[in-house]
Amino acid sequence: MTQKVIEMKQIVKDFSGFKANNGINLDLQKGEILALLGENGAGKSTLMSILSGLLEPTSGEIFVKGKKVNITGPQVAKKLGIGMVHQHFMLAESFTVLENIILGYETTKGIAIDFKKARQQVLALANNYGLSIDPDQKVSEITVAQQQRVEILKVLYRGADILIFDEPTAVLTPQEITEFIKIIRGLANEGKSIILITHKLEEIRAVADRVTIIRAGKSVGSFEVGKVSDDKMAELMVGRKIEMKLTKPAAQLGRPILTVKDLQVKRKNGSLAVNNLSFTIHAGEILGIAGIDGNGQDELVEALTGLRKINGGKAVIKKLVINSMSTREITQFGVAHIPADRQKYGLILPLSLADNIALQEYYQRPFSKLGIINFKQIYNHAKKLMKKFDIRAASANLPAGELSGGNQQKAIIARELDRDSDLIIAFQPTRGLDVGAIEYIHKQLLAQRAKGKAILLVSYELDEIMQLSDRILVLHNGQESGEVKPETTSETELGLLMTGIKKAGVKE
């Protein structure tokens, strides 16, 4: 007889008129892994915030292990055994693994922390659940996957038996994901109950027992994972049919647009972030750059867009060496740049949507003459692009920060693609977006490819790289560890190249 450890009934959360949750039902059985699937803004985070005591529901009932409860604060949730592993780890970097785990829950001996006892407890937990860690390493020195294990141990150490994971695999490599899946399977086998918030259908398939799908604040269905198709899940999540596979015609290669030769770019501390990198992108081609975060991607993109000094080698766009050109000169010459972090680098959130759309062109006619801006033109231009690129906002005068992530990204796409540049540099163009928005942006990029644009796609999402690229260049430690074709490679091979374990000869 399975026991329901959590039952949420008709949960409503009303933010002064906007119902983020509008009658959600969810139940979690003991020892199962339940995937919570939904678009951004569908209400997943709100629901989980309610469960972990950060928000209180406007109405609805919550039962934990059969008893009706009011989760009035995080402490209450903790007492009930509910623990959350956040997407952005909340660790003190300069503390050791052990210190981080016991932080706030130190076992003491007199007034001193009893590290000996704490270490025993933590190691016992780690052994029990197969979470290998070194308790004495500093968090700043361990990998992201290890940091995640520390987060999990932190939650377990606090006595949680209901664990919520918020998009846990977003930061992991394919090999690490496999490892992670093993870990949470193990947790479930030990009797822990798990809620997994995710966007990724394949992960749900790989690990979850059941899936609950929510859309626009309502639960639209719960299924056993074995009895529902991917198409059905995607359709329920978005509310319409989604093309899971993009149709990508064969590339029509034109002249070379971007040629990078022996490129060297230094980090602030003087070490080489990009080390003798060479590649060419032709018109009508998408070159994907795969790699684990921090292997030179940021520096490469910044160097190609004039944001960072090129320390050696050269970058040539259409026969023009851009080594010493400013960002503005480069973008004017024909480079569109979709930056990795839309809120930090792509948009000025307090400025209006219209101003943001004009951010690359405000100083040119017809948007300004003799240094005086014609805001009417900027507004009209924005209106036009909102229609063309399906940016949904109540008004072009709305601050960009009030738009949803998908619409913010569309605003950047509109601004960059409408300028008709020959080279498009897209860095993590779909980060954190939901299936519908991802589909839209992928289609836009393929349309640009069909128009004969050269596209440099840098992404940590292997799916994205595999689906869109004509060629894939793998970066490891700022060097090329291999160039592969999406048709002939596998995620395993890419993973090995990304971690530098395998080095492939440059094919073709």
Partner 1 sequence: MIQVNARVKRILVPVVSVLAGFLIGAIIMLIWSYNPLTAYGSMFTSALGNMNGLGETLREATPLIFTAIGFAIASAAGFFNIGLPGQAQAGWLTSIWIVLANPTMPKAILLPLAVIAGAVSGAIVAGIAGVLRAYFGTNEVITTIMLNYIVLYSCQYLMQKVMSDHLRIDTDTTKTISRNGSLHLDWLSNVFGSSRISAGIFLAIIAALIYWFLMRKTTLGFEIKAVGLNPDASRYAGISTKKNIIVSMLLSGGFAGLGGVVLGLGTYQNYFTQTTSLDIGWDGLSVALLGSSTAGGIVLAAFLFSILKIGGLGMQTIAGVPYEIVSIVIAAIIFFVAINYIIGKLFKTKANSALSTSSSVKVNKADGSISGKEPQ
Provide the binding-site residues for partner 1, judged by CB under 8 A: 13, 15-18, 20, 39-43, 45-46, 48-49, 54-55, 88, 216, 238-240, 305-307, 326-328, 330-332, 337, 339, 343-351, 355, 359-360, 362-363, 368, 371-373, 375, 390, 392-394, 398-399, 401-404, 406-407, 410, 434, 436-437, 440
State which residue, 95 or 362, has the beta carbon closest to partner 1. Answer: 362
Read off the tokens for 58: 């406007």
Q: State the burial class of residue 28 (Cβ atoms within 10 Å of its Cβ: 0-12, 13-18, 19+).
A: buried
Phi and psi torsions of 367, nearest 5°: -80, -25
State which residue, 46 or 173, has the beta carbon closest to partner 1. Answer: 46
SS3 123: helix
Q: Contact, 60 vs 8, CB < 8 A?
A: yes
Cα–Cα distance, 181 to 184 (Å, whole number) = 5
State which residue, 378 or 484, has the beta carbon closest to partner 1. Answer: 378
Q: Contact, 157 vs 125, CB < 8 A?
A: yes
State which residue, 178 or 343, has the beta carbon closest to partner 1. Answer: 343
Q: Contact, 355 vs 378, CB < 8 A?
A: yes
State which residue, 41 or 256, has the beta carbon closest to partner 1. Answer: 41
Nearest distance in Å: CB 143, partner 1? 23
Cα–Cα distance, 119 to 112 (Å, whole number) = 14
Nearest distance in Å: CB 108, partner 1? 28
Cα–Cα distance, 399 to 361 (Å, whole number) = 18
State which residue, 320 or 501, has the beta carbon closest to partner 1. Answer: 320
Nearest distance in Å: CB 439, partner 1? 10
Long-range contacts of 202-205 (CB under 8 A, 24+ apart): 203/35, 203/169, 203/177, 204/35, 204/37, 204/233, 205/230
Read off the tokens for 382: 């924005």
Nearest distance in Å: CB 394, partner 1? 7
Nearest distance in Å: CB 18, partner 1? 4
Nearest distance in Å: CB 43, partner 1? 8
Nearest distance in Å: CB 373, partner 1? 6
State which residue, 1 or 394, has the beta carbon closest to partner 1. Answer: 394
